[in-house]
């Protein structure tokens, strides 16, 4: 059964710093990996989708990489801003039923 782990559970950084969030998964036979953002009490906003054949995706200050063989993905946020404060979730699509399995998230706080 697929399991997704995100470390650290919480991270606090000063504004302007570059940072990396980590995601690992146990079964490398995935179709894709998605990174989401969740603000308190809100739904999820899709940030980046990386297909299993891709190594990375970029959107603005965000860059996500995927190393399927080692079961790892990273989300790089450049020049962090207080507005980036949120919980970041990664999820992998895998299995014959093609279900998304989510990590428990990293709660990011960017201090002004």
Does 91 sit near other proteins (CB under 8 A)?
A: yes
Q: Whose CA is closest to 103, among 82, 60, 74?
A: 74
Closer to other proteins by CB, 77 or 91: give it. Answer: 91
Residues numbered 12 to 51 that lie near other proteins (CB under 8 A) are 31-32, 34, 36, 41-46, 49, 51
Closest to other proteins by CB, 18 vs 46, is 46
Backbone φ and ψ for 89, nearest 5 degrees, come out as -115, 140
Q: Compute the residue count for the chain.
A: 112
Q: Do the strands 56-59 and 106-111 form a parallel or antiparallel pair, or are they unpaired? A: unpaired
Euclidean distance between CA atoms 26 and 4, whole angstroms: 7
102 contributes a contact to other proteins by CB under 8 A: yes
Assess contact for 51 and 68: CB atoms under 8 A: no
Nearer to other proteins, 42 or 55 (CB): 42
Choose between 15 and 55: whose C-beta lies nearer to other proteins: 55
Residues that bind other proteins (CB under 8 A): 4, 9, 31-32, 34, 36, 41-46, 49, 51-52, 89, 91, 93, 97-105
């Amino acid at each position: 059964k697929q399991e997704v782990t995100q470390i650290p559970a919480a991270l606090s950084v000063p504004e302007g710093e570059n940072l990396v969030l980590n995601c690992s998964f146990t079964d490398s036979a995935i179709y894709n990996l998605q990174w989401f953002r969740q603000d308190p009490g809100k739904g999820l906003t899709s940030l980046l989708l990386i297909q299993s054949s891709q190594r990375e995706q970029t959107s603005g200050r965000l860059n996500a990489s995927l190393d399927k063989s080692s079961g790892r993905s990273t989300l790089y946020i450049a020049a962090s801003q207080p507005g980036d404060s949120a919980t970041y979730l990664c999820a992998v699509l895998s299995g014959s039923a093609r279900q998304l399995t989510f990590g428990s998230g990293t709660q990011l706080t960017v201090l002004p």
